[in-house]
């Protein structure tokens, strides 16, 4: 049986992540988002969380491109870890 040439096999696209327009991801219920961010992206399901924040799917409204967005919860970051950013 001949092997198929892998150049002709297309990868299967993953299904689109469901978008939660009402921001029901558990972490987002207690936090407000920047209005410019909310205007540009629809936020979807939570992908994971850790000690300092969480990651969600965000779909760009204009293009439909999905991105993983990490949110850092400021009050969880120790003051010794902050760095002053000067221009």
Domain edges within the chain:
15-74
SS (H, E, C) the chain: CCCCCHHHCCCCCCCCCCECCCCCCCCHHHCCCCHHHHHHEEEEEEEEECCCEEEEEEEECCCCCEEEEEEECHHHCCHHHCCCCCC
More confidently predicted of 65 and 73? 65
Instruction: Tell me the average pLDDT across 30-44.
Output: 86
Least reliable range by pLDDT among 15-19, 55-59, 71-75: 15-19
pLDDT value of position 59: 94
- Residue 16, marked binder: no
The domain made up of 15-74 is a member of CATH 3.40.50: no
Say what the pLDDT of residue 16 is. Answer: 62
Tell me the average pLDDT of the chain.
77
């Amino acid at each position: 049986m001949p092997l198929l040439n892998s150049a002709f096999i297309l990868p299967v696209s993953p299904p689109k992540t469901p978008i939660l327009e009402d921001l029901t991801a558990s972490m987002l219920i207690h936090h407000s988002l920047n209005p410019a961010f909310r205007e540009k992206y629809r936020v979807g399901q939570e992908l994971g969380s850790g000690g300092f924040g969480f990651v969600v799917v965000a779909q760009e409204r204009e293009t439909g491109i999905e991105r993983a967005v990490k949110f850092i919860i400021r009050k969880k970051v120790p003051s010794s870890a902050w760095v002053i950013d000067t221009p």
